[in-house]
Structure formats: C-alpha cells, structure tokens
Amino acid sequence: MFSKAKVDEKLEREIMEIPAIDIHSHISPASPKAAHLSDILLYHYIATELITAGMPSSLLKGNLSDEEKVKNSIPYFKRIENTATYWSLRRILEDLYGFKEEFTLNNWERLDKEVQRRAEDSGWTEFVLKRKAKIEKTFLTCIPEESGELTSKGMFVPALRIDNWINPFYLRENILTLEKITDKSISSLEDLASGMKKMILGSKQKSVCLTAAFGPGVWAESPDGRIAQS
C-alpha cells in the first residue's frame, strides 16, 4: 500500500512529464537565449517590481552598460524577496544555472559568466524548453510591423498580435504604421478596413493565429484634450 508521501511523489512525477503548449511568449526567435545576466535579473516584470519597491528608474536608463545596470539593481533585490516574481527568479537561477547562493555584488560576475557560457551552447534553448519545461510548442508574440519574426521554426509558432488595430486604431501613429505595412494610403473607414484585411492576409501564410487584448471600452481624446469613453 502506498503512503501519502509516495502517492504525492508519483503524482508529481507524472504531472511533470505532461507536455505543455506555451500560448503566449515574448521569446525572440532570433535570440531566444539570455545572453547576459541582465536579460534575466532585469526582465521587464522584475525591473518593474524593483522600481515600485523604491529603486530609482534612472539606475537602469541612459547609456549604462549591462554590467552597470546589474550592479545598480542588486542592492534593491532584498526589497522584493517576498514576491512570487522573486521566487520564480531564484528557481530560474538554481534550476538552469545551478546557482543556489544569494546573488550579491561579490558573486554576480561568476553567475554572469555561467549565463554567457550557457548562451554559447547551441542546444541550450531546446534543453530549457523541451527537456526542462516540457514545452513542445511556443507561440511567439509577433506584431505586424516586425513581420520578419513571422517564421515558424521548430518549436516556435508565430502568432500575430493585433491589439493596436482593434482598440486604439484611431491613433494617428497606428494609421501611419498600417499605411507603411500595406503601402496604402488610409483616409476613410473603407481604406482602414481594406488596409487591415491586406495586413492580415499578408501574414496569413506565416502565422497560425491572431491574438489581442480586448478592453471594456475604447478611450478617445477629443481636440480640446478631454478624454471620453465609447
């Protein structure tokens, strides 16, 4: 008869072997690996938490090198140790890079060298996604103006993100971008519909689906600067 502990272990093993499909990823197919420690420590969500915890955003801006940004941020990680994001970061560093210590100003360079060493491994991406995470397919978040990324390759599947063409389509900058993509002048609703159709059909052969975030309403700014919701 199995003990509860053994049943739990068996269930965990079985669950960990279930293949997964990552339906929303910001991985760049051209460079899917972290090339520098800053790519991990200062990923958008982590950097945002550090700033909300009191780190001046100026410490990550300007012409600072990756090394300078990492050194600037390390003293502030103590402030986010109670967050799920920090827990996830620690799991990444331990599971993928074997780094179980607290990263500090005295040891971060050793960790950085390990990240760079792994980045030079041609099989690293497949090892992390397929063998460690059991991810069979990863849907990329591609935007029309960067159509060069719309290439299905191995485990990467392009998904065309069209938020800008649904919610704030009325913004002039989005209209200009659509004109550039489609090489078509847009001055009416008919032109807009035709341009969007051309853009989507032009990406049809390269992407497998469309993705978008739908808000509860559309916000518009009137000429006098007032904001109204429709």
Other C-beta atoms within 10 Å of 18: how many? 7
Strongest mean pLDDT among 30-34, 122-126, 199-203: 122-126
- What token pair was written down for 142? 């591609």
Q: Give the pLDDT score at 204.
A: 67
pLDDT band at 147 (very low <50, low <70, confident <90, very high): low
The answer on 163 and 93 residing in a single domain is no
Expressed as residue numbers, the domain containing 99 is 28-123
For 212, the 3-state DSSP assignment is coil
pLDDT of residue 94: 96
Are 103 and 50 within one domain? yes
47/115 same-domain check: yes
14, part of any domain: no
Residues 171 and 95 placed together within one structural domain of the fold: no
- Mean of the per-residue pLDDT values of the chain: 84
Task: Indicate whether 50 belongs to any domain.
Answer: yes
As a whole number, mean pLDDT of residues 113-136 equals 93
In a domain? residue 4: no
> Residue 152 has what pLDDT?
56
Residues 106 and 36 in one domain: yes
pLDDT-based confidence at residue 151 (cuts at 50, 70, 90) = low
At residue 164, does pLDDT exceed 90? no
- 188 with 149, same domain? yes
Q: Is residue 228 part of a domain?
A: no
What's the pTM value of the predicted model, to 2 decimals?
A: 0.73
Judgement on whether residues 170 and 86 belong to the same structural domain of the protein: no
Lowest mean pLDDT among 57-66, 138-147, 175-184, 191-200: 138-147
What is the number of residues in the chain?
230
Q: Are residues 108 and 162 in the same domain?
A: no
Element (H, E) at 170: none
**What does the pLDDT read at residue 169?**
55
Whether 221 is covered by a domain: the verdict is no
Is there a single domain that holds both residue 189 and residue 117? Answer: no
Q: What's the structural domain count of the chain?
A: 2
Q: Could you report the per-residue pLDDT of 57-99, keeping only the tens digit for each? A: 999 998 999 999 999 999 999 999 999 999 999 999 999 999 9
22 phi and psi, to 5 degrees?
Answer: -85, 105
